[in-house]
């Protein structure tokens, strides 16, 4: 039995001026044409900005690449679905009969979209300050547990450790081309892993830099695949 949206709203510490916005945030496209897709689009942008701003404040010495990876670790699909499950959000989703039968209320993509849609709904209802306050409250534990110890490692090391943690073969780096004059050559390297069929190609003025570039692109791709 689907539980009432107002119960979840209270549980999340929210109070809407327009409760219909909150109900819409929980409505999947399989249930109605008046669904949460547009709110999810808006919430995704707001969430990314708020988390980026907080990370910028928390880690003043971190470079752009490290900040990007930290943000991706927080706002990916798996992370958002984890937060949704913590608050039993799936019990309140409004789904069509097909999604109900197939267990859509447990699916990471649907749960994470609903979290972002709630953020979009809150922004429409009360503005940026209220949205920021709730996002930081929602992510408080995750933000507190962050450390730069791992994120300051170079991309190749990070990717290698990721593969080792999953007991998979190490990434393979293949030199594709080497062009230019001796003092200003450009190297192109292809990185492949068992985690995705899609290779990533990096470039640099040395083979080592091209490999690092390819590894960084692969890490970004893997983060997107879990979002």
Residue 1 has pLDDT above 60, yes or no: no
What is the separation of C-alpha 70 from the centre of its chain, rounded to a whole number of angstroms? Answer: 10
Which of 99, 108, 116, 125 does the annotation list as catalytic? 116
Average pLDDT of the segment spanning 34-39:
96
The H-assigned helical ranges of 12-87 are 19-25, 37-58, 64-75, 77-86
Binding residue positions for Mg(2+)? 40, 113, 116
Domains of the chain with CATH codes: 5-147 (1.10.1520.10), 155-225 (3.30.160.20)
Assign 72 a pLDDT band (cuts: 50, 70, 90). confident
Predicted local distance difference test score (pLDDT) of residue 225 = 61
As to burial, measured by CB atoms within 10 angstroms (0-12 exposed, 13-18 middle, 19+ buried), residue 63 is exposed
Predicted local distance difference test score (pLDDT) of residue 2 = 64
Predicted local distance difference test score (pLDDT) of residue 167 = 84
64 catalytic residue (yes or no): no
Residue 226 has pLDDT above 60, yes or no: no
- Dihedral over Cα of 46, 50, 56, 59: its sign: negative
Predicted local distance difference test score (pLDDT) of residue 103 = 85
As to burial, measured by CB atoms within 10 angstroms (0-12 exposed, 13-18 middle, 19+ buried), residue 137 is exposed
Q: What is the pLDDT of residues 107-147, one digit of tens each?
A: 888 999 999 999 999 999 999 999 999 999 999 999 998 88
Percent of the chain with pLDDT over 70: 96
Distance CA(218)–CA(165), nearest Å, equals 16
**8 A C-beta contact, residue 16 and residue 22:** yes
Residue 65 has pLDDT above 80, yes or no: no
Which of 44, 99, 125, 216 does the annotation list as catalytic? 44
Higher-confidence residue of 48 and 103: namely: 48
Predicted local distance difference test score (pLDDT) of residue 100 = 83
Query: In Å, what is the CA distance from 73 to each residue of 64, 159, 166, 204, 220?
Result: 14, 14, 17, 26, 10
116 catalytic residue (yes or no): yes
Indicate the SS3 state at residue 60. Answer: coil
Length of the chain counted residue by residue: 227
Query: In Å, what is the CA distance from 171 to each residue of 91, 160, 174, 207?
Result: 40, 7, 10, 15
Residue 76 has pLDDT above 80, yes or no: yes
Q: What is the pLDDT of residues 152-201, one digit of tens each?
A: 678 898 898 888 878 889 999 999 999 988 778 899 999 999 989 999 99
**8 A C-beta contact, residue 131 and residue 50:** yes
């Amino acid at each position: 039995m689907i539980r009432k949206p107002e119960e979840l709203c209270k549980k999340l510490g929210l109070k809407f001026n327009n409760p219909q916005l909150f109900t819409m945030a929980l409505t999947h496209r399989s249930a109605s044409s008046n669904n949460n897709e547009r709110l999810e689009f808006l919430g995704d942008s707001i969430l990314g900005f708020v988390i980026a701003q907080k990370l910028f404040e928390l880690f003043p010495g971190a470079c752009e690449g490290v900040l990007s990876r930290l943000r991706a670790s927080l706002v990916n699909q798996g992370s958002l679905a984890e937060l949704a499950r913590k608050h039993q959000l799936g019990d309140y989703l409004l789904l069509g009969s097909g999604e109900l039968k197939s267990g859509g209320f447990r699916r990471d993509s649907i749960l994470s979209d609903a979290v972002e849609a709630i953020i979009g709904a809150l922004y429409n209802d009360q503005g940026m300050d209220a949205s920021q306050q709730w996002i930081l409250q929602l992510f408080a534990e995750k933000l507190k547990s962050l450390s730069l110890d791992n994120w300051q490692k170079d991309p190749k090391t990070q990717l290698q450790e990721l593969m080792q943690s999953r007991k998979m073969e190490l990434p393979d780096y293949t030199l594709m081309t080497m062009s230019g004059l001796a003092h200003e050559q450009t190297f192109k390297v292809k990185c492949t892993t068992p985690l995705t069929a899609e290779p990533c190609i990096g470039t640099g003025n040395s083979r080592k830099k091209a490999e690092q570039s390819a590894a960084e692109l692969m890490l970004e791709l893997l983060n997107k695949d879990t979002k």
